[in-house]
Each structure stands twice: as C-alpha cells, then as structure tokens.
Amino acid sequence: MKSIRRFFLYFAILLISSVALLIFAAGSHRYVTSDSIMLNHIVQTVKENWNDLRVLDEKDIDTDILIFDSSDKKLYAKPDKTFENVKVVLDAVRKGMITMPVNEGDLFMGTVVVPSPEEAAYRKTVHDIALITVFIIMVQLISYFIFLRYINRSIAAPFRKMKEFAALVAQGRFDEPLVMDKNNIFGVFTESFDIMREELKASRQRETELKTKEKELIASLSHDLKTPVTGIRAICGVLSLKIQDEYLKAKVENIEQKTAEINKLLNDLLYSALDDLGEMNVSPTEETSDILKAIVDEHDVHSRVRAGDIPDCILRIDKNRMSQVIGNIISNSYKYAGTEIDISYSFSGSFLEMRIRDHGEGVDPEETDFLTNKYYRGRKNSPGKEGSGLGLYISAELMKKMNGQLICISDGKGFEVVLRIPLA
C-alpha cells in the first residue's frame, strides 16, 4: 500500500508542477512596444544602401526585414521563411507587420517591412507552451505505463495466482503452496490463503482417517456378527429336524430365513467396506465354463432357474467372486420378482455373455443406470422389502475387477442382468 501512496503522491506533484510550468510559460509573455529609434535606424540604413541592399547582410540589424520597391516588387528578405506568404505590402499590413516608407525628399523609393514585436513575442510564447505541453504529456504517458506495469505486477498478477490457487484447492490439491513475493502488497492475504490451504489439507487428512476407521469398524463388526448369525442358522437347522410340532417348525424356519437375510446384509456391508478400503481382492484363474452350472445350482435353492446350454470355453475368473455375483443376482430375483429365472449364454467378442432374466415387474427403464450405484434401490419394487442397495454395486465392482462387466436391463417384461465374463 505504501508503493501505491508513493505513486499517487508522484502523480500529484507531477500535475502541480505541470500546471505551474504552463502558468510560468504563459506569464513570461510581456507586452512589447515598437522601438521607434530602431525603426528609424533601419529605414535610414536601407536608404543609404538602396543601390546595394546585400550590404544589409553584414549590418547588425536585430530583426527580420523585408524590402519592396515603389511598385511592390520584393527586393530583399531576411530571412525568406518569415515573409514567405507576404507577396505585396498589403499582405504585410493584413498580418499586422510594421510597414515604413523610404523617401528621398519628395521621391517615394519603396517600403521596409519588419515583424510586429508583439506578434513575435506571442508566437514565441505559444511555441514554448507547445513544447512544454508535449514534454509534460510524454512524461505523463511514461509514468502511466510504468504505473500500469506496477499494477499488473503487484496487484493483477497476485490476484491471478490466488485465483489459480483457489482452483487447485477446489480440486483438492493441497500439496501445492501459494508462493509469496516480498513485493506483493497482498502479502498478508497470501499468507492467510496458504494457512487456509494447510488447514484444509489437515482437515481432509483427518476426514480420510476417520472414514477409514469407520470402514474398518463396519468391516470388523460385519465379520464378527457373521459368527453368531451362522450359529443361529445352525441351531435352526438342528431344531427343524427335531421339532415335530408344525407351528413351532414353521417359526424356526422363519427364524432361519431371517438369519439368512441378515447374513446376506452383513456380507454386503463387509464387501462394501472392504471395497472402500481397497481390500476386496480378486484373483482370477482359468476355469472351464461348466463351473457356471455348478455356481447356479448352488444358489438356486428354490429350483426356479431354467438354464440353457453353456458353450465350452475357458474363462478367466475368480471362482469365489463369480459365485458371489451370481448368488446376488439370483437372490435379488427371488426377493423382488418371485418368478421363474431364465439363463442363456452366447459369445460376444472376447466375452461369454450370461443373461439372467426374471419375469417380475422390473424397474423403470430410466433407473437401470443407477442400480449399480452404492445404496441405490429401485423405487417401484423395493418398498416393503429388506435390502441395503449394495448387492448390485458390489457385483458390478467385482465384475470390473475381473475385467468383465455387469449390465442391467428392464424392458417392461421383467428384469435382466447381463454378465460379460472374460474369456481366457
């Protein structure tokens, strides 16, 4: 700020000095009167040298001079430039010059013309003011450009840097500090911006650590809860075999069904937490295509699947993860559709496409792109049904990790999931 104040002080001094200089130049013009003695001396000198006017070049005559003869013919001019537009005596009169006749007795010999002293002084003053004005304008222009350069370097450039810095902060790039210039008039603001960057970086790190701890807690709890849930399912299985009362047996089976649902939800939470932690590992190996039939049979506990023939080929998959994906899809069909499930197979480039279709209500077609988002559930078929919105998300992520793809399709005639399984 001190630099800007110095600039404004400089411009104020320059303005005052310019005005004072112009006033001084204008005031230097004084009223000048004609010197009659000098004029008579000039006329007498001209008369004495009328026959040889070139002698006047050597005479000490302190003014410009023009001489006409009696017929208005120009005989002599010193210098020519002063009188270049004076052709006759009448022209000199019009321009305010002094005209003096040269007589020899009663004989009119000619006319001597000299510039008016007042006019000469006026022209000199105008000339001086013009020169001073040009000089002042040049100095002001140079000062203006210097000031603009200073503004650009000291104000505009720091603002641009802060704008770029703000963009980096908005992108979450907290490792690039805002460089401070000792000549930057916004040094305090610059330092504050950099402190803000460091605080945001520390805050982001704390947030990341808290989220990591949260995911680790969810993963730990989900894993720990699976043990008692598995124990409850085992006990329910034993009780189903020993209890003869149909009412009690139905209650035990209901408990077993609920524990199975709880177990699935715990699996979804566990795999989601592991995915966020980067620990949901996939280890693809080469497997024959008949492994798919075994996986489908394992998860088709209600015998609703109608599967077509599987082409003979070698797949590159993680068998356990593929079982998890297919199990998720079949379980969703049981829960949301409750119909027969058709599975077909075909080749598509370097993939084996496995199409799993049920014949329920499906979902709105505009929702299909969101079904693989975390925690998203269809609006039409999910109300009243338990679920976390993680099943298809986890399945899609597992397919990506196996270099495959999961595609959801709903055309009003049911719901279809296409698994693009990579070939070896």
Q: Which is more confident, 226 or 214?
A: 214
Segment among 36-50, 127-141, 152-166 with least mean pLDDT:
152-166
Res. 318 pLDDT band, cuts 50 70 90? very high
Res. 31 pLDDT band, cuts 50 70 90? very low
Q: How many domains does the chain have?
A: 3
- Residue 22 pLDDT exceeds 80: no
Q: Is residue 388 part of a domain?
A: yes
Contact predicate 397/280, CB 8 Å = yes
Please classify residue 307 by burial: count the beta carbons closer than 10 Å to its beta carbon, then call 0-12 exposed, 13-18 middle and 19+ buried: middle
- Residue 16 pLDDT exceeds 60: yes
Across residues 231-246, what is the average pLDDT?
Answer: 80
Across residues 93-110, what is the average pLDDT?
Answer: 88
Across residues 360-384, what is the average pLDDT?
Answer: 81
**Dist CA 309 CA 300 (whole Å):** 17
Q: Is residue 256 part of a domain?
A: yes
User: What count of other Cβ atoms lies within 10 Å of the Cβ of residue 158?
Assistant: 20
Q: Which is more confident, 357 or 386?
A: 357
Q: Is residue 127 part of a domain?
A: no
Question: How many Cα neighbours within 13 Å face the side chain of 155?
Answer: 9
Give the DSSP letter of residue 309: P
Question: Residues 293, 230: one domain?
Answer: no
pLDDT of res. 271: 67
- Residue 348 pLDDT exceeds 50: yes
Question: Residues 270, 303: one domain?
Answer: no
Cis preceding linkage at 79, omega within 30: yes
Residue where one domain finishes, among candidates 115, 144, 178: 115
Across residues 209-219, what is the average pLDDT?
Answer: 69
Question: Residues 290, 257: one domain?
Answer: no
> Residue 368's closest CA among 353, 360, 378?
378
pLDDT of res. 12: 74
Length of the chain (residues): 424
Across residues 89-118, what is the average pLDDT?
Answer: 87
**Dist CA 395 CA 405 (whole Å):** 9
**Dist CA 371 CA 392 (whole Å):** 7
**Dist CA 13 CA 119 (whole Å):** 34
Question: Residues 393, 339: one domain?
Answer: yes
Across residues 408-419, what is the average pLDDT?
Answer: 89
Which stretch, 121-130, 172-181, 242-251, has highest mean pLDDT?
Answer: 242-251
Mean pLDDT taken over the chain: 81
Percent of the chain whose pLDDT exceeds 70:
81
Place of tokens 């703000």: 166
pLDDT, tens digit (0-9, with 9 covering 90-100), for 109-148: 999 998 877 766 677 777 777 887 888 888 888 888 887 8
Place of tokens 């988002």: 373
Residues 6+ apart with CB under 8 A from 5: none
Question: Residues 347, 238: one domain?
Answer: no
Could you tell me the pTM of the whole model?
A: 0.47
Which stretch, 15-19, 94-98, 236-240, has highest mean pLDDT?
Answer: 94-98
Token pair recorded at residue 43: 């006329």
- Residue 86 pLDDT exceeds 80: yes
- Residue 104's SS3 state is strand
User: What count of other Cβ atoms lies within 10 Å of the Cβ of residue 271?
Assistant: 24
Cβ density class 378-401: b for 16+ within 10 Å, e for less: beebeeeeebbbbbbbbbbbbbeb
Contact predicate 318/282, CB 8 Å = yes
- Residue 349's SS3 state is coil
Question: Residues 264, 238: one domain?
Answer: yes
Residue where one domain finishes, among candidates 67, 97, 115: 115
pLDDT of res. 216: 63
Structural domain boundaries enclosing 242? 188-276
pLDDT of res. 144: 80
pLDDT of res. 277: 59
pLDDT, tens digit (0-9, with 9 covering 90-100), for 65-77: 899 999 989 899 8
The angle subtended at Cα 259 by Cα 257 and Cα 260, nearest 5°, is 65
pLDDT of res. 419: 96
Across residues 351-360, what is the average pLDDT?
Answer: 94
Question: Residues 305, 393: one domain?
Answer: yes
Cβ density class 323-360: b for 16+ within 10 Å, e for less: bbbbbbbbbbbbbbbebebbbebeeeeebbbbbbbbbb
Res. 189 pLDDT band, cuts 50 70 90? low
Q: What is the CATH number of the domain that holds 369?
A: 3.30.565.10
Q: Is residue 165 part of a domain?
A: no
Residue where one domain finishes, among candidates 276, 296, 322: 276
Question: Residues 410, 298: one domain?
Answer: yes
H helix runs in 152-186, sequence order: 157-170
- Residue 33 pLDDT exceeds 60: no
Question: Residues 269, 291: one domain?
Answer: no
Contact predicate 77/66, CB 8 Å = yes
Q: Which is more confident, 179 or 162?
A: 162
**Dist CA 408 CA 417 (whole Å):** 5
Q: What is the CATH number of the domain that holds 212?
A: 1.10.287
Q: Is residue 67 part of a domain?
A: yes
Question: How does strand 305-307 pair with strand 341-348?
Answer: parallel
Segment among 7-11, 121-125, 217-221 with least mean pLDDT:
217-221
**Dist CA 16 CA 28 (whole Å):** 18
- Residue 63 pLDDT exceeds 60: yes
Q: Is residue 396 part of a domain?
A: yes
**Dist CA 315 CA 285 (whole Å):** 8
Question: Residues 393, 293: one domain?
Answer: yes
Which stretch, 185-199, 204-218, 273-287, 303-317, has highest mean pLDDT?
Answer: 303-317
H helix runs in 278-342, sequence order: 291-299, 319-336
Question: Residues 271, 326: one domain?
Answer: no
**Dist CA 115 CA 66 (whole Å):** 9
pLDDT of res. 390: 76
- Residue 202 pLDDT exceeds 90: no
Q: Is residue 341 part of a domain?
A: yes
Question: Residues 304, 410: one domain?
Answer: yes
